[in-house]
């Protein structure tokens, strides 16, 4: 059986802990490989490799770092088919979605290629008599990223591409559920010309996470995952003196106004709610309809659209989405569907018990649709993270906008309308970090920043974009004067009120 090992100092390193995790094929339910689970000592080994590589890499000028990133981007593009197929085999999402996963990672690498400009500081000439002031952005040191199963290409690139571009070295701890693509990314990064030890990959569970969070030589940690774990990562990492950004869960809402283009809204939301089996923190699992007629039409048309979705194996080019990542996650989603029924929501389409001929043990969940969901229901307040769309009905825009604003999560929100003024006011006032106007999944492009509010994010800076540069660097400000000749009695002092 295939084994997935750690990747340290530019080579595959077999685990020594004696602990392993199973890597499933979600299409069949079979174990297809084993992954090493790191001990504290193995995390130490990866950190030591990153620490040894740091001085030379931090001293490498930004243009040379950018050239390696350009080559890495080129290699990702050349190998996108291989990466997507490998990703689908472990995650379960269809290959088209996997290519999108890789492409969004490439976009961030492309942004990081601009590091010679992005890392520039500021300069003021003549701040005082003969005095100039300038700032510089310098790397933090050894940094780390802890990434989830749902985007095993994109999210690692969010983290290590920007961090390494800034002159840091990196230890990546990807999800143990689908670890092969992150290892392949590290191999391609080495092929692009990165020095040994600049990017290291260790696999593991909570043991590895805690070792990273408490390691004295790791200066910053980035995390994406569930909110409870994000809060734990943030509190533990900061308690050990680290800079931490921790992105958590979501319950994104799409508000459908009476003047919305219903054809477009249904088409967009069916993809946003059910695409990638709903395993996206920027999925749209809640539709809020404004007015009875809007709600009736939307539910009728969405039911028809959802019933026509094809659930298939990840290699099926005609499938709209594939299996979820694990048997445990499938069971969790189906428990939430039952909870919604128990709470009194109207189940219009039940995706439980879905199976495919020849793949009866695969982790498939059919599309589910609820109507008349209420804000007090636990199935509404919790993140389901599956192919389940819940419809909440509202009478006014104010009532609809209050739902995402008051929800515990604040990752993304969308409004579907033809009214520019309503959209503008909604975008300005809604208490959510990322807003879409007639855009169902408002994930920012790579040169803007990604991040939610409330329990969707812990920490003060967002992922990638300009915020990413700020997170992965520390600023130093220099005040300088070059006296000429005899300085006499002149002295530089801090200004006073005298």
Is 334 in a helix, a strand, or coil? helix
User: Could you give phi then psi for residue 422, rounded to 5 degrees?
Assistant: -60, -40
Rounded CA-CA distance 29/15 in Å is 25
Rounded CA-CA distance 166/147 in Å is 20
- Residues 6 or more apart whose CB falls under 8 angstroms from that of 79 comprise 184, 188
- Angstrom CA distances, 449 to 369, 467, 482, stand at 32, 6, 40
Give alpha helix (H) positions in 31-61: 40-59
Rounded CA-CA distance 87/68 in Å is 24
Q: Is 143 an annotated catalytic residue?
A: no
∠ CA 332-281-289, nearest 5°, is 90
Give alpha helix (H) positions in 217-291: 227-239, 262-274
The first and second tokens of residue 330, run together, are: 């499938």
Q: Identify whether the C-beta of residue 326 lies closer than 8 Å to the C-beta of residue 281.
A: no
Q: Kindly name the residue from 113, 157, 166, 281 that is annotated as catalytic.
A: 281
Q: Identify whether the C-beta of residue 442 lies closer than 8 Å to the C-beta of residue 434.
A: yes
Is 134 in a helix, a strand, or coil? strand
203-215 core/surface letters (b: 16 or more CB in 10 A; e: else): bbeebbbbbbbbb
Query: How far apart are the two ends of the chain, measured CA to CA in Å?
Result: 79
DSSP type of residue 463: B
Catalytic residues: 281
């Amino acid at each position: 059986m295939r084994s997935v090992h750690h990747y340290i100092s530019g080579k595959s390193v077999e685990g020594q802990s004696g602990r392993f995790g199973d890597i499933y094929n979600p299409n069949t339910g079979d174990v297809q490989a084993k992954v090493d689970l790191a001990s504290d000592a193995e995390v130490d080994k990866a950190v030591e490799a990153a620490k040894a590589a740091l001085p030379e890499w931090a001293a490498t000028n930004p243009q040379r770092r950018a050239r390696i990133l350009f080559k890495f981007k080129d290699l990702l593009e050349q190998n996108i088919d291989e990466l997507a197929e490998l990703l689908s085999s472990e995650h379960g999402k269809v290959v088209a979605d996997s290519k999108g996963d890789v492409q969004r990672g490439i976009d961030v690498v492309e942004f990081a290629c601009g590091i010679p400009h992005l890392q520039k500081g500021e300069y003021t000439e003549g701040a005082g008599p003969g005095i100039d002031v300038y700032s510089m952005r310098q790397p933090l040191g050894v940094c780390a990223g802890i990434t989830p199963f749902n985007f095993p290409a994109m999210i690692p690139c969010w983290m290590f591409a920007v961090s390494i571009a800034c002159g840091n070295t990196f230890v990546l701890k990807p999800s143990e559920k689908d670890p092969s693509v992150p290892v392949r990314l590290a191999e391609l990064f080495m092929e692009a010309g990165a020095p040994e030890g600049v990017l290291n990959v260790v696999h593991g569970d909570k043991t590895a996470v805690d070792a990273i969070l408490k390691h004295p030589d790791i200066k910053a940690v980035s995390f994406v995952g569930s909110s409870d774990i994000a809060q734990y990562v943030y509190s533990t990492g900061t308690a050990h003196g680290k800079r931490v950004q921790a992105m958590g869960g979501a319950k994104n809402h799409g508000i459908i106004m009476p003047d919305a283009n219903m054809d477009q809204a249904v088409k967009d939301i069916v993809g946003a709610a059910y695409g990638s089996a709903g395993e996206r923190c920027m999925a749209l699992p809640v539709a809020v309809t404004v007015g009875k007629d809007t709600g009736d039409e939307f539910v009728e048309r969405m039911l028809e659209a959802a019933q026509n979705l094809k659930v298939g194996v990840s290699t099926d080019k005609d499938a709209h989405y594939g299996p979820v990542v694990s048997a445990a996650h499938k069971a969790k989603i189906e428990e939430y569907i039952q909870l919604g029924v128990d709470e009194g929501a109207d189940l219009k389409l039940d995706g439980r018990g879905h199976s495919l001929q020849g793949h009866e043990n695969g982790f498939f969940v059919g599309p589910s649709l609820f109507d008349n969901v209420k804000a007090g229901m636990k199935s509404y307040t919790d993140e389901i993270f599956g192919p389940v769309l819940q419809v909440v009905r509202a009478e006014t825009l104010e009532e609809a906008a209050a739902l995402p604003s008051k929800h515990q999560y604040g990752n993304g929100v969308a409004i579907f309308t033809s009214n520019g003024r309503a959209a503008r006011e909604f975008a300005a006032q809604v208490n959510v970090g990322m807003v879409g106007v007639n855009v169902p999944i408002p994930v920012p492009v790579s040169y803007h920043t990604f991040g939610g509010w409330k329990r969707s994010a812990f920490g003060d800076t967002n992922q990638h974009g300009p915020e990413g540069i700020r997170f992965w660097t520390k600023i130093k400000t220099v005040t300088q004067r070059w006296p000429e000749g005899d300085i006499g009695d002149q002295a530089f002092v801090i200004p006073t009120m005298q």
